Amino acid sequence: MVKQPVLFLDSGIGGMPYCYHFHRRNPGETIVYIADRLHFPYGGRKREELAGILSGLTERAVRKFNPKIAVLACNTASVTALGELRERFPDLPFVGTVPAVKPATLASRTGKIGVLGTELTIGESYIKELADENGGGEVIGIAAPELVEFVERKAAYASTGEKIQTVRGYINRFRAAGVDVLVLGCTHFLILIDEFKEAAAPDITVFDSIKGVTQRVESLLAGGDNNSEDTAGNCLFLTGSAPPEPSWVYWAGRLGFSVSLFEEE
């Protein structure tokens, strides 16, 4: 019996921290990571357009891999399309990567919650609703599409100093606004989480949802069939027909994954 994989979906490398954390804790699970570089970035797209893209991508992944769980490893996709995907694919459990607004709101002393994300995520009412459900506060959102591009294109080779300098400008804006908690509301930004924490210390606490997402996937796996008879190789797939860029070989190598193209059938 071929082992059903756990599927991770993102527009690029943003889901890598989630994938890495899950893989480290669950080395016996087969993982398929699909990076939709053909439609990168997701953050500037309309809700309906993005839902259609993700629906088509998921349909192809289901036909090819028959995954047992899908992790929507993109904050933008999770806050805009998760409900529609669950309706479209009722037999496939989805785990979203919703920004960690709840714990940040509960921890804030000033009542000012910073959220750094894509244009689509920052514009969603869902973010403010999450804060209101957990005590309320002023949500101060900053859209940073240029940071998504930096992480996707340059982070693999940037020096620590360059990465610190890149995030410091955002931290300074949040600090000037009186924020004491910061939610990294785009999975791409978690690639720079160490730099964000260094720049934010000691007065701003940085929040992410990596552990919570892994725990949710593990809870679903505990209630299902792990199909442990055979382990296929873990693989990172890229949409589009262009050869994998060196950065993708780098990220796949960190996980010990192979790299392949996820071409149209």
Q: What whole-number distance in Å separates Cα of residue 97 and Cα of residue 80?
A: 11
235 noted as active-site residue: no
Residue 237: burial class (beta carbons within 10 Å; 0-12, 13-18, 19+): buried
One-character DSSP codes across 173-214: HHHHTT--EEEE-SGGGGGGHHHHHHHHTTT-EEE--HHHHH
Please provide residue 160's backbone torsions phi and psi, each rounded to the nearest 5 degrees: -60, -40
How far is residue 215 CA from its own chain's centroid?
15
For residue 2 the two structure tokens come to: 């071929």
- Among the listed residues 74, 120, 192, 236, the single catalytic one is 74
186 noted as active-site residue: yes
- Among the listed residues 186, 210, 217, 252, the single catalytic one is 186
Residues acting as catalytic residues: 74, 186
